[in-house]
């Protein structure tokens, strides 16, 4: 167990180091902005003294290293200051947007993992069959197609031409409010259908391919012969094999969630989903830098934390993994 503890310690130090690097890169980037925030925020009617007072208030006249330390502290405490345009602390805006993004990602991820596991397991069991070739081919094909164009096409066909589905947004105007009301309403699910399906078509590839290859490995194990000798039916044996083939998937899920943000930004723009990716694009277009940097930091933090969790989880779940 000490080996495991040392491993966790090392991973934690690494996590802290990477977070620090990301923060430093971000600080450097936002220092490069032409002028300072007062140039965007302050109106031309302000007198020189007023601008100076505002600069003092924001700490912009302090030496750079003081600003840097303050910046790192504030970001780590998730204190992102206030937005230039929206009258709310940025941390509240972020919480709201992260929730909305989760409302798209979580259902899509559950469907991808459950469905992908089943399909991948069957494909791996019947190696070389037509089912295997068809699923693997289709999965890879879907994964390599540019998802944002697939999204545009789906929108053109199902929303504009056929009028079956709403053309974007998370709920209709004046629709249900509050988390539970929304999730239990038909309106939300109708809005989720198109972006959700496109997300699934991309994310399902991982579980399918992973389950297929780990099933191939498990398939040759001795314990399956014992089960066969006990006289279990083939279907039960497949289920036993699948349970053992599931291990690598656990770490993959965390990595997958981290990488999701990549395509998420595009889907949120196309389907006008009020999530964190869309918020970032809007903030950058409005030059609302406090919001922009908070969004970037939150996305990086989520990616890193999930990767970290995945590393730890693997050791906990599979007792065969040792940490010398």
Partner 1 sequence: MPGRRLPVAMRRSLEGLRVILKYPSGTVGLIVMVLFVLLALLAPVIAPYGPFEVAYGVERSVIRLAPPTARNWLGTTNQGMDVLSQLLWGSRVALVVGLLSALGSVLLGTLVGLCSGYFGGWVDEVLMRLTDVAFGIPFLPFAMVVVSIAKPGLALVIVLVIFFLWRTTARVIRSQVLSLKTRPFVWAARAAGAGHGKILFRHIAPNVLPISFLYIAIGVQTGVMLEAALSFLGFGDPQVLSWGIMLNAAFQAGAMRTAWWWVLPPGLALSALVISVFMITRAYEEMLNPRLRAI
The site for partner 1 (CB under 8 A) is made up of 14, 17-19, 21-22, 25-26, 29-30, 32-33, 127-128, 132-133, 140-141, 144-146, 148-149, 152-153, 155-156, 160, 213, 216, 261-262, 265-266, 269-270, 277, 280-281, 284-285, 292-293, 295-296, 299-300, 303-304, 307
Min dist CB 260 to partner 1, Å, is 9
Q: Which C-beta is closer to partner 1: that of 30 or that of 84?
A: 30
Burial of 48 (0-12, 13-18, 19+ CB in 10 A): exposed
Q: Which C-beta is closer to partner 1: that of 149 or that of 189?
A: 149
The CA–CA distances, whole Å, from 320 to 1, 313, 314, 323 equal: 13, 13, 10, 10
The span from the CA of 79 to the CA of 94, in Å, is 11
Min dist CB 140 to partner 1, Å, is 7
Q: What is the DSSP string of 127-142?
A: TTSHHHHHHHHHHHHH
Q: Which C-beta is closer to partner 1: that of 14 or that of 106?
A: 14
Q: Which C-beta is closer to partner 1: that of 219 or that of 240?
A: 219
Min dist CB 183 to partner 1, Å, is 26
- From 150, 133, 112, 139, select the one nearest 257 (Cα to Cα): 112
Q: Are 24 and 64 in contact (CB under 8 A)?
A: no
DSSP letter at 159 equals I
Min dist CB 299 to partner 1, Å, is 5
The CA–CA distances, whole Å, from 245 to 115, 226, 307, 316 equal: 15, 17, 21, 16
The span from the CA of 47 to the CA of 38, in Å, is 12
The strand pairing partners of 89, in sequence order, are 82
Q: What is the DSSP string of 27-91?
A: HHHHHTSSS-HHHHHS-TTS-HHHHHHHHHHHTTTS-HHHHHHHHHHHHHTT---B-SSSSSBHH
Count other C-beta atoms under 10 Å from residue 135's C-beta: 22
Min dist CB 215 to partner 1, Å, is 13
Backbone angles phi, psi at 184, to 5 degrees: -90, 5
């Amino acid at each position: 167990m000490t080996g495991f503890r040392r491993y966790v310690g090392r991973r934690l130090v690494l996590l802290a180091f990477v977070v620090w690097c990301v923060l430093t890169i971000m600080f450097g980037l936002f220092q490069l902005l032409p002028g300072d925030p007062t140039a965007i925020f302050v109106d031309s009617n302000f007198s020189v003294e007023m601008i100076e007072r505002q600069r003092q208030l924001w700490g912009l006249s302090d030496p750079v290293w003081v600003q840097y330390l303050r910046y790192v502290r504030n970001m780590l405490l998730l204190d992102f200051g206030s937005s230039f345009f929206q009258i709310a602390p940025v941390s509240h805006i972020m919480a709201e947007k992260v929730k909305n993004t989760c409302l798209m990602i979580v259902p899509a991820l559950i469907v991808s993992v459950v469905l992908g596991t089943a399909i991948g397991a069957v494909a791996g069991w019947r190696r070389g069959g037509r089912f295997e070739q068809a699923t693997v081919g289709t999965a890879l094909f879907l994964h390599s197609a540019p998802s944002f164009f697939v999204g545009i096409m789906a929108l053109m066909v199902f929303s504009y031409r056929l009028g079956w589905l709403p053309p974007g947004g998370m709920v209709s105007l004046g629709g249900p409010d509050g988390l539970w009301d929304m999730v239990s309403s038909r309106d939300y699910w109708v809005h989720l259908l198109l972006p959700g399906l496109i997300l699934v078509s991309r994310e399902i590839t991982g579980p399918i391919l992973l389950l297929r290859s780990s099933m191939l490995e498990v398939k040759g194990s001795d314990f399956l012969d014992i089960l066969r000798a006990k006289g279990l039916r083939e279907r039960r044996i497949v289920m036993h094999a699948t349970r053992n083939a599931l291990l690598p998937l656990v770490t993959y899920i965390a990595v997958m969630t981290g990488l999701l943000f990549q395509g998420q930004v595009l889907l949120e723009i196309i389907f006008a989903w009020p999530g964190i990716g869309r918020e970032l694009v809007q903030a950058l277009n409005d030059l609302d830098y406090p919001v922009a940097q908070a969004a970037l930091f939150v996305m990086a933090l989520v990616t890193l934390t999930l990767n970290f969790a995945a590393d730890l989880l693997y050791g906990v779940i599979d007792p065969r993994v040792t940490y010398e």
